[in-house]
Amino acid sequence: MSEHVMAGLALILLLGIAAQLIGWLTRLPSILILIAAGILAGPVFGWLDPQELLGDLLQPFVSLAVAIVLFEGGLNLKIGEIRKTAPVVIKLITFGVIITWAIASLGGIWILSLDWRLAIVLGAILVISGPTVIMPLLRHLRLRGDIGPILKWEGILIDPIGATLALLVFGFILASGLQEALTQDVVILVKIVAIGVILGGLGALLIIQLLRRYLIPDFLQVPVVLSLVIGIFLVSGLLQQDAGLFTAVIMGAILANQKQVSIGHIITFKETLGLILISLLFITLSATIDLSSIISMIVPILVFCLLLIFVARPVAVYIASRGTKLGWKNYALLASIAPRGIVSASVASIFGFRLAENGIVGAEKILPITFAVIIITVISSSLLATVTTRKLGISNPNPQGVVFIGGQLWVRDIATALEKSGIPTLIIDKSKSNIAYARRKDLNAYYGDALSADVIDDVDISGYGNILAMTSDDNVNHLVALQFGKEFGSSHTYLLPPVDMPALESKKHIGVHLPGRVLFNNKANYDYLNEMYVDGARIKTIKITDETPYTAFLKENKGAVPIFKISADNGLTVVTPETKFEEPDTFMLINLVPSLSD
C-alpha cells in the first residue's frame, strides 16, 4: 500500500515538472500540457486516481496549496505597477465580476438547463480566474505595457472575491427568507473582509518584525514564514469559512509593498514552491475529471463556454475600460484572456458537495461542468491571446533587446551599434552625466541605481531578453546579476569578468563561481576594455561572409574583442568565451577593434 501511494505521488510530481519542461521547450502554454497530462494519467489510462491515493486529504491539500499560491501571488502585487491602470483593475473586480456572474448564471439556466439555484452558484464560481493560470500565461506571452500588471492584479484579487461570492450565493439560496438571506450575506462579507485585513495585516507585521529584529536565523526564515502563512490561513477559515484566501492575498501584498526588510529570498523560494504546487494541483485535479459526464453534455457546455468567452468577457472588459486610456489593442487582448483555474475547481468541488447534501437535484453536474470550462477557457485564452498579441505586435515571446548596467562611453557606443542593427537597448546608470550623454545620442536611458528595488517596478523590461552588468565595480556587477537573474534567467544574464578572473578560471570552468555568464572573453574585464578605449579602440560592425570569414577578420584585427553576433534573421547572440563561430556562415559582428587595426 505504501509503495502504491509513493508511486502515485512520484508520478504526480514527475508529470507536473515534465509538463512544465515540455511547455518551455515547445513554447506552448504549460497549463495545456499539465491538463492533458492529468487527463491522460487519470481517466484515459487509469494510472492515477487522486481520490483513492489521497482520500480525505485531497481537499485539504488543494486548499492549503491554493492558499500558498495566492500568498505567492500577493507577493507579486506591487502598487507601482498599476498607478495608471488602477481604475481598470477596480472595475474588473467589481462591475466585471457582477456582469460575468449575471451572464454565466443566465447561461446556466438557458443553455445548461440547470436549476436556478445551481446556476447562480456556478456563475459565482466561474468569475474566478486566478494566478494558477494567469501567471504561467503571462510568462508565456511576455506582454509589453500595462496589460500584464492588469491581468496579474485581476487574477490574484478575483480569487478570494469569487470564492466569497460563491459563499454568499450559497447562503442566500439556503436562507428561509429574503431578509434573512441579505442579513446573513452582509454579516459574512463584513467578517471575511475584517478577518482578511486584520489577520493578514497582523501576520505581515509579525513577519516584518521577526525579520527586522533578526529573531529568526537566515536558514529558518522561509520555513517560519511558510508556517505562519498556513497557520493564519487556517485560523481565518475557522473564524469564517473561506476567509483564508482573502487573508493570504492581503498578507502577501503587504509584505510586497513594505520597505522595512528585504524579502527577496522569500519571494524566490515561494516562486519555486508556487511553480511546483501549480503543477501538482493541475495534474491532481485534472486526473479526477469524469470524462463521461462532460461528454454527455458536450454540446451545451461548448455553447456555454462560447457565451463566457465571446460575450461575458468582452462586455465586462468594455465596461471596465470605459473612460480610461486603455486603447483598442489592449482592450482586444484583455477581452481575449479569461481562463478559469484551480481555485474554480476547488471551490466547485466544495459547493457541489454542499449543494448535494442539501438535496438540490443536479448538484453533481457542477464539478464536471467547471472542469470542462477550465479546459476550454484555458485553451481558448492561450490560443486567442497568442494570436492576438502576434497580430497586434504587443508581445515579446523571444525578446532580443539588451539592458546595459553602466553607461560609460564605450557602452554607449555599443548600444548605438545595436540600435543601428535594429536591436533595442536600455542603459541604466546612477551617473547623471552618463545618462545625459546617452539621451543626447537618442538612446533609451534610465537614471537610477540598478540595485534599487524600484528599478524593476519603474522600468518596462518586457522588450529586453538580455542584461549585461558592465560597471567598473565587480561587486556591483555580481549583485546586479543576482538581482536580475530571475527576471532574465541565468542563460541571459551576463557580467564582465572580475579583475582576478584569469587567475581563478581554467578554460573548462569559465565563470563557474559567478551568478551569470562571463562576457566576451576571460580577460575582458572593465579595466582591460576601458584601457583599450583610451588607447583608441573603437566599436565597429563588420559583416562576416564566405568571402570575409571570421578567421580572416581576426588575423587582420589582432586583439579585437567580439561583442555581439547578429544572424541574418536578426537573432542576437551575446559573445562569451564559449561562443563558437562556425564557417561558412553569414552574420554581423559587433567588435571592439584596437586602433592599430584602423
CA distance linking residue 352 with residue 363, whole number of Å: 5
User: pLDDT (tens digit, 9 = 90+) per residue, 456-473?
Assistant: 666 767 678 888 888 888
Query: Which cell goes with 37?
Result: 497530462
Give the single-character DSSP code of 492. Answer: G
Q: Of 131 and 279, which is predicted with more confidence? A: 279
User: pLDDT (tens digit, 9 = 90+) per residue, 312-327?
Assistant: 999 999 988 887 777 7
pLDDT grade, residue 505 (50/70/90)?
A: very low
Average of per-residue pLDDT values in the chain = 82
The mean-pLDDT minimum among 32-36, 165-169, 337-341, 390-394 falls in: 390-394
Does pLDDT of 477 surpass 60? yes
DSSP codes of every residue in 152-163:
HHHHHHHHHHHH
Q: What is the pLDDT of residue 106?
A: 95
- When the candidates are 3.40.50.880, 3.40.50.720, 3.40.640.10, 3.40.50.2300, the CATH number that belongs to 401-597 is 3.40.50.720
List all residues 6 or more positions away from 1 whose beta carbon is below 8 Å from its beta carbon.
none
CA distance linking residue 168 with residue 185, whole number of Å: 5
Does pLDDT of 582 surpass 80? no
pTM of the model: 0.73
User: pLDDT (tens digit, 9 = 90+) per residue, 4-34?
Assistant: 778 888 888 899 899 888 877 776 767 778 8
Query: Which cell goes with 104?
Result: 454565466
Q: What is the pLDDT of residue 160?
A: 85
Does pLDDT of 400 surpass 50? yes
Share of the chain above pLDDT 90, in %: 12
Fold match between domain 2-45+59-392 and domain 401-597 = no
Cα Rg of the chain, angstroms: 27
Query: CATH number of the domain at 2-45+59-392, please?
Result: 1.20.1530.20
Residue spans of the domains in the chain: they are 2-45+59-392, 401-597
Does pLDDT of 501 surpass 70? no
List all residues 6 or more positions away from 3 whose beta carbon is below 8 Å from its beta carbon.
none
CA distance linking residue 65 with residue 370, whole number of Å: 19
Q: What is the pLDDT of residue 491?
A: 81
pLDDT grade, residue 227 (50/70/90)?
A: very high
Does pLDDT of 132 surpass 80? no
Q: What is the distance in angstroms between the CA of the first residue and the CA of the last residue of the chain?
A: 77
Q: What is the pLDDT of residue 504?
A: 46
CA distance linking residue 136 with residue 352, whole number of Å: 28
Q: What is the pLDDT of residue 222?
A: 85
User: pLDDT (tens digit, 9 = 90+) per residue, 284-338?
Assistant: 888 887 788 888 889 999 999 999 999 999 999 998 888 777 778 778 888 888 8
